[in-house]
Structure 1
Amino acid sequence: MLIVAGHLVVDPAERDGYVAGCAQVVELARAAEGCLDFSITADVLDPGRVNVYERWTAEEPLLAFRGGGPSEGQQAQILDADVKRYTISAVGDP
């Protein structure tokens, strides 16, 4: 299992538009084979922060979905990013 998690930094004045513009990507990801969870959300405290969380069954479906990554328009809006991929070796109930 893989988890992709972290955050993006965008102009606070453009953050809500950025998140809204990601709705189709979230919808497509959630319908993709191997996607267990996918969200791109506005942070409740930082007006320029966009939180990213993805959970995939394996690397192959993630790479098949990811393709070229964000569109040029979305990429241009990202001022900074700290998003990492984590390989999970075991899963259990809390």
Structure 2
Amino acid sequence: MLIIAGSLHVEPDARDGYLAESAQVIAQARATAGCLDFLLAADPLDPGRIHIYERWESPEQLAAFRGSGPSDQQEAEILDADVQRYLISGVEAP
């Protein structure tokens, strides 16, 4: 299993528009084979921060989807990003 997690920073007044434009990509990801979860969400305290969380069955399935990333306009709105890829070797019940 693979987890992609981190955050993006955009201008605070652009965040809601960025998230609205991301809805189609989120839906597309969730419908993709191997996608277990996909979310972009507003941070409740930082008005310019967007949290990213993705969970995939395999790196190959993630790679097959990756061409569907942010549009050029959305890419230009990102001021900073801190997103990491985590390879998970096992999952335990809480």
TM-score tier, shorter chain, comes to: over 0.9
The residue type paired with residue 76 of structure 2 is: A
Q: Larger % of helix: which?
A: 2
Runs of 4+ in 1 over 4 A off after TM superposition: none
TM-score (norm. length: structure 2) = 0.97
The residue type paired with residue 47 of structure 1 is: P
1:46 corresponds to 2:61: no
Q: How far apart are 1:29 and its partner, in Å?
A: 0.2
TM-score (norm. length: structure 1) = 0.97
Equivalent pairs, count: 94
Q: How far apart are 1:69 and its partner, in Å?
A: 3.0
Matches within 5 A, 1:80-91: 80-91=80-91
Structure 2 residues without counterparts, runs of 5 or longer: none
C-alpha distance in 2 between matches for 1:70 and 1:56? 18
Q: How far apart are 1:67 and its partner, in Å?
A: 1.5
The alignment's C-alpha RMSD in Å is: 0.8
Structure 1 residues without counterparts, runs of 5 or longer: none
C-alpha distance in 2 between matches for 1:16 and 1:45? 14
Identity %: 62
